[in-house]
Amino acid sequence: MRAATKKKAAAAKTAKAKVTFGGSLAVEQLISLTAELQKLRHHPPLTRRESGRYEGDILGFVKGLRLSARVIYFLREYLSETDLEVSWGHVLNEEEQSCSPECDIVIHAKGHIRNWNGSSNPIMNFKFVQAEAVQAVVSCKSQLDAVDSDYPKALKKFGIDKVFLFAESCRQSRLAALRAAARKAGYSGLWCLYTTEAGEEDPFIKADEAMYVDFGKAIREAVK
């Protein structure tokens, strides 16, 4: 039993050692985003009225958009040495007659068919991209409890087989099962900013910097 414990500790130490100074710098945006989102998780703007109804919650779409936008900013910097663009939008098929499901993050060759509401200071910057230009897609989820197996199948019809799943949080006890389910469904993998566990008012939260580095490396490898 002691030998097994020592082996686990040694493995954890080795994994931690793999995160270099440069690696930490590269994922600095994800580290700071984790802290920001955890703060909101602990202090949600939600008020319970006397009637028992809750009011004041932030719209789920806005929460999700903030997450995906920040991951887009991270990937733009992480892939800055390439000629690729990182956008939010739809993918059009080869005949330009069919539109994919919404793509939180599209990594593609420079250029697009149309940019909705884009300007020098845009509120929204939504692009329509040709399928042949797409290198990879990242689907973002706020709190991941189950894997959407239809999403990678839908994108495969557009010739996109590198689909990544990135979540704000997952249950620690479910993470391994969710990662296995993601692979089985056709995703290139699942990563998250932090894990939680049900319990008291303040659930256990764990952030894994090595996972951020692994996510960046997996994306870079996919778009070579």
- pLDDT at 61 (0 to 100): 72
Question: Which residues does 141 contact at the CB level (< 8 Å), separation at least 6?
Answer: 64, 165, 166, 167, 168
H, E, C per residue of the chain = CHHHHHHHHHHHHHHHHCCCHHHHHHCHHHHHHHHHHHHHHHCCCCEECCCCCEECCCCHHHHHHHHHHHHHHHHHHHCCCCCEEEEEEEEECCCCCCECCCEEEEEEECCCCEEECCCCCCCCCEEEEEHHHEEEEEEEEEEECCCCCHHHHHHHCCCCCCEEEEEEEEEHHHHHHHHHHHHHHCCCCEEEEEEEECCCCCCEEEECHHHHHHHHHHHHHHCC
Please give the Cα distance from 154 to 92 (Å, whole number): 12
Torsion of CA 147, 151, 153, 159, to 10 degrees: -130
Delimit the domains of the chain by residue range.
2-222
- pLDDT at 10 (0 to 100): 47
- pLDDT at 15 (0 to 100): 45
Q: What does each of the 224 residues of the chain score in pLDDT, given as a tens digit?
A: 455 554 444 444 444 447 786 777 778 888 787 777 776 665 555 666 667 676 666 666 777 788 999 999 999 999 999 999 999 999 998 888 889 999 999 999 999 999 998 777 888 899 999 999 999 999 999 889 999 999 999 999 999 999 999 999 999 999 999 999 999 999 999 999 999 887 655 576 788 899 999 999 999 999 98
- pLDDT at 3 (0 to 100): 54
- pLDDT at 26 (0 to 100): 74
- pLDDT at 142 (0 to 100): 87
| Assigned token pair, 209 | 């910097």
Residue 204: beta bridge partners?
A: 197
| Assigned token pair, 181 | 């389910």
Please give the Cα distance from 106 to 100 (Å, whole number): 11
Please give the Cα distance from 76 to 175 (Å, whole number): 27
Are 118 and 125 spatial neighbours (Cβ–Cβ below 8 Å)? yes
